[in-house]
Chain A
Amino acid sequence: MSATQTHGHAADHHDDHGPAKGITRWLTTTNHKDIGTMYLVFSLVMFLIGGAMALVIRAELFVPGMQLVDPGFFNTMTTVHALIMVFGAVMPATVGLANWMIPLQIGAPDMALPRMNNFSFWLLVAAFSLLILSLFMPGGGPASGWTLYPPLVLQTGDALPLAIFAIHLAGASSIMGAINIIVTIMNLRAPGMTLLKMPLFPWTWLITAYLLIAVMPVFAGAVTMLLTDHFFGTTFFAAAGGGDPVLYQHIFWFFGHPEVYIMILPAFGIVSEIIPTFSRKPLFGYDAMVYATASIAFLSFIVWAHHMFTVGMPLAGEMFFMLSTMLIAVPTGVKVFNWTATMWKGSLSFETPMLFALAFLFLFTIGGFSGLMMAIAPVDFQYHDTYFIVAHFHYVLVPGAVFAIMAAVYYWMPKWTGHMYDTKLANIHFWMSAIFVNVLFFPQHFLGLAGMPRRIPDYSTQFADWNMVSSIGAFGFGLSQLLFVYIIWKCAKGGQKVSAEVWDGARVHGLEWTVPSPAPYHTFDEAPVVK
């Protein structure tokens, strides 16, 4: 079970060389660690670009009246902010973590399909180049919301084909990434590591990967139908030609709801790694955690129309989707209870990753409560398309998925770089993020309940106070993230050397803590044996 560089030499392997020099290393690499790093850096860049767009939105909404941007450009900002954050920031960040950590956690030498791994990363770069290029097209960028509902989306100018091809490429990249993860997990686990001995992060990613393969083609199909409706005279979604605009929404949300779990399941996995380590206690209810994840994934396929309660579904449809959605609270509750029980009678310490994981635990749960509230169809007739929804999904995505990703970065960065990050700055980053994220999003619950619709560039004066509070939170949160960038840069450059184990007692929590820090370029050339 010992680390591998020495083994590699002893066995006289020829592939134990270091990385290539210069830019070639990054263009042609097939190393899971390099590719993981590229994914993570890419997602950080996208997080900053998408965040800048969010600040344009919050700046315009700071006070009532139109001060900064045209309403059309405002719509472009909401649309592209969402597309970038979902497909460019959160998803690639979890893929990057998977690339780095899954081989290390299951004792594999690399991902199973390393060349495809490289290709799926560079496709993503192409995808987002196209998407950002679409902002500069005649007629402006995509402005129909990230859901791209027809007929509105068909009013997009030359940006439409660019955005759709961007989605195709990003989707192809995701599918390849998902295949790679499934093949890796199924074939390259260390001897003795049965599926039910596998850590939770690979587990949640395995399930996520199946979700991706199931729904990305559906989304690709939906946007392709948009493309043919726009350019080739089909009328899939045009009522005048016998088509159906609501059909698009059903297809989109059949993709869109599992997509929500594609973003949050890896976060569940991360939190399930971190809480036991810093509680110095095994994860409570491991089997239940795996089954709960699988149940959530299954349910995600049968709840999609709760995003469309107001389209005028028949009563039976509304009833079914209300009840199936409420059911999700059960496995999600099991997860929250199990994390809490993991801390119970543990020996807790509060390093930065643990702080982020704890913030996740509290704030994701708040997002879960508002989710349960909007599952109630009759009440959702009020909540639907208001800021209450905006508050809900930002609670599950920012202090949910994004905080989990930040927790993972702080948790594993010492393993990647061999240095401890600047703990003082990291704790400041945590507290600023945790406070401002609530200043930013909590008042949006009030705005939505009081009647403010989402996706509006200007609002009635009764909403002025909380919008101002929310905007202040947004700028505070945005600035805090510059600190995050600095901390990462500083940690990559140098810092206090860390041991292989990094965290007190972490060795028992995963194979990644048995390899040296920084993790050598090649690890587990010979598979460790798991008992």
Chain B
Amino acid sequence: MKMVKRAFVAGMALFGLASPAMAAWSDVNLRVGVTELSREIYGLHMLILWICVAIAVAVFGVMIYSIATFRKSKGAVPATFDHNTKAEVIWTVIPVLILVGMAIPAARTLVKIDDMRGSELTVKVTGYQWKWQYEYVDHGVSFFSTLARTSDEARQLDSGIRPESVENYLLEVDNPLVVPQGKKVRVLITANDVIHAWWVPDFGMKKDAIPGYINEMWFRADEPGIYRGQCAELCGRDHGFMPVVVEVKSQADFDAWLAAQQAARQAAAAPAAQTAAVVSPVDQVAAVRVAVAE
């Protein structure tokens, strides 16, 4: 498999002569990702890709052979047959068998994706034009996540800032979602204005965020790190500028982070509570954002 993969990369590199910076496999293929589901999805993708490649080699082979051999210019005399029942049955039945072979593992993975049981943390994601809100529903923490200022400045029309000079251009946010490593995280997804879609390629999943609906999906990230994705459903003018960034931390680091968030929230709420009995949610959010920025 590795050999085949390498040959394929080499072929792609040839195809990409026009592109001197032609780089890694990950630039032309799906990512393996860091969750059980993403790896299964990647496996399915490769399985079906190779089946398609095999069929293509066979079918295109016959076409190319016909084009090369049965040429009028070579004096080919046309045959007169116009059907062959045996052949037609064969090329109807074999594809059906191949499809059944594809459908079985696909169905198995689909069932697994749909299994939301046993989650250890629930995060609610709300899409807005054009930012995300993350809410740790059992821990009283919530905040907004918007495109990082450096990217936002560079992406203005004729900003004069080279995108290459901005680290993680368009894939950086002010406040990433933080989740613990190795825990089954259930994501509840909705939207407050138009439809968005929350997508992290390394987790293998995207789901639409639809006003009036609460969709769910889950992931369990095996490795700590920062994972980046984007809104995947056209949501208006700045659809291209609402990235998704998820930071996976070890359980201990996550607990510390969460505690700090809760503390910051309380600290921000306390002086406000002295001056006013009722604190508006907007103020709370603003306060948390200030606290997080610090």
User: What A residues does B229 contact at CB under 8 A?
Assistant: 451
Q: If the complex has contacts A337-B59, A449-B28, are A245 and B21 also in contact, measured as CB distance less than 8 A?
A: no
Q: In A318-346, which residues have CB < 8 Å from any B CB?
A: 318-319, 322-323, 326-327, 329-330, 333-334, 336-338, 340-341, 343-346
**Cα-based distance from A325 to B59 in the complex (angstroms):** 21
A144 to chain B, nearest CB (A): 7
User: What B residues does A361 contact at CB under 8 A?
Assistant: 63
- The chain A residue sitting closest to B215, CB to CB, is A312
- The chain B residue sitting closest to A358, CB to CB, is B67
User: What B residues does A466 contact at CB under 8 A?
Assistant: 16, 19, 27-28
| Interchain Cβ contacts under 8 Å between A and B, 16 examples | A64-B163, A70-B157, A143-B237, A284-B84, A315-B114, A322-B107, A329-B95, A343-B63, A345-B70, A346-B79, A365-B56, A376-B44, A458-B163, A465-B16, A465-B22, A469-B19
Segment of B173-181, B195-203, B263-271 in the binding face: B195-203
Partner of B70, one of A64, A75, A346: A346
A285 to chain B, nearest CB (A): 5
Partner of B30, one of A284, A310, A319, A449: A449
Segment of B138-146, B204-212, B254-262, B273-281 in the binding face: B204-212
Partner of B67, one of A343, A345, A377: A343
CB–CB A330/B234 < 8 A: no
CB–CB A472/B212 < 8 A: no
Digit string of A440-459 for contact with B (CB within 8 Å is 1, else 0)? 00100110011101111111
Judge if B2 is at the interface, Cβ distance under 8 Å: no
For B26, B27, B207, the residue with the greatest tally of chain A CB atoms inside 10 Å of its CB is B27
**Cα-based distance from A346 to B29 in the complex (angstroms):** 39
In this complex, how many residues of chain A approach chain B with their Cβ under 8 Å: the count is 98
B102 to chain A, nearest CB (A): 7
CB–CB B170/A288 < 8 A: no
**Cα-based distance from A345 to B65 in the complex (angstroms):** 10
A118 to chain B, nearest CB (A): 38
Judge if A240 is at the interface, Cβ distance under 8 Å: yes
CB–CB A71/B70 < 8 A: no
Judge if B10 is at the interface, Cβ distance under 8 Å: no
**Cα-based distance from A70 to B158 in the complex (angstroms):** 10
Digit string of B205-247 for contact with A (CB within 8 Å is 1, else 0)? 1111011110110000000000001111111111111000000
Q: If the complex has contacts A348-B72, A373-B52, A451-B201, are A326 and B103 also in contact, measured as CB distance less than 8 A?
A: yes
**Cα-based distance from A315 to B59 in the complex (angstroms):** 34
User: What B residues does A63 contact at CB under 8 A?
Assistant: 163
User: What A residues does B213 contact at CB under 8 A?
Assistant: 239, 245-246, 312
CB–CB B59/A239 < 8 A: no
**Cα-based distance from A187 to B231 in the complex (angstroms):** 53
Judge if B285 is at the interface, Cβ distance under 8 Å: no
B194 to chain A, nearest CB (A): 4
Q: If the complex has contacts A330-B99, A340-B62, A466-B19, are A311 and B205 also in contact, measured as CB distance less than 8 A?
A: no
Judge if B162 is at the interface, Cβ distance under 8 Å: yes
CB–CB A239/B114 < 8 A: no
CB–CB A144/B234 < 8 A: yes
CB–CB A460/B232 < 8 A: no
User: What B residues does A384 contact at CB under 8 A?
Assistant: 197, 206, 232
User: What A residues does B102 contact at CB under 8 A?
Assistant: 326, 376
Q: If the complex has contacts A377-B110, A446-B27, A469-B16, are A385 and B232 also in contact, measured as CB distance less than 8 A?
A: yes
B24 to chain A, nearest CB (A): 10
CB–CB B207/A349 < 8 A: no
User: What B residues does A377 contact at CB under 8 A?
Assistant: 106, 110
Judge if B4 is at the interface, Cβ distance under 8 Å: no
Q: If the complex has contacts A322-B106, A347-B71, are A455 and B234 also in contact, measured as CB distance less than 8 A?
A: yes
Q: Which residues of chain A have a CB within 8 Å of any CB of chain B?
A: 63-67, 69-72, 75, 143-145, 149, 151-152, 155, 239-240, 244-246, 279-288, 310-312, 315, 318-319, 322-323, 326-327, 329-330, 333-334, 336-338, 340-341, 343-349, 358, 361-362, 365-366, 369, 372-373, 376-379, 381-382, 384-386, 439, 442, 445-446, 449-451, 453-462, 464-466, 468-469, 472
B112 to chain A, nearest CB (A): 8
**Cα-based distance from A454 to B232 in the complex (angstroms):** 7
Judge if B294 is at the interface, Cβ distance under 8 Å: no
Q: If the complex has contacts A245-B211, A372-B48, are A381 and B204 also in contact, measured as CB distance less than 8 A?
A: yes
Q: If the complex has contacts A71-B240, A348-B67, are A458 and B95 also in contact, measured as CB distance less than 8 A?
A: no
User: What B residues does A326 contact at CB under 8 A?
Assistant: 99, 102-103
CB–CB B28/A66 < 8 A: no
CB–CB A311/B237 < 8 A: no
CB–CB A65/B162 < 8 A: yes
CB–CB B83/A347 < 8 A: no
Partner of B66, one of A344, A459, A464: A344
Q: If the complex has contacts A71-B238, A455-B234, are A461 and B164 also in contact, measured as CB distance less than 8 A?
A: yes
- The chain B residue sitting closest to A242, CB to CB, is B212
**Cα-based distance from A246 to B102 in the complex (angstroms):** 29
User: What B residues does A343 contact at CB under 8 A?
Assistant: 63, 66-67, 70
**Cα-based distance from A334 to B84 in the complex (angstroms):** 13
CB–CB B52/A372 < 8 A: yes
User: What B residues does A365 contact at CB under 8 A?
Assistant: 56, 59-60
CB–CB A64/B29 < 8 A: no
- The chain B residue sitting closest to A153, CB to CB, is B194
A243 to chain B, nearest CB (A): 8
CB–CB B83/A151 < 8 A: no
CB–CB B88/A64 < 8 A: no
**Cα-based distance from A386 to B229 in the complex (angstroms):** 12
CB–CB B88/A75 < 8 A: no
Q: If the complex has contacts A450-B29, A456-B230, are A152 and B71 also in contact, measured as CB distance less than 8 A?
A: no
**Cα-based distance from A345 to B66 in the complex (angstroms):** 7
CB–CB A382/B170 < 8 A: no
**Cα-based distance from A346 to B71 in the complex (angstroms):** 8
A457 to chain B, nearest CB (A): 5
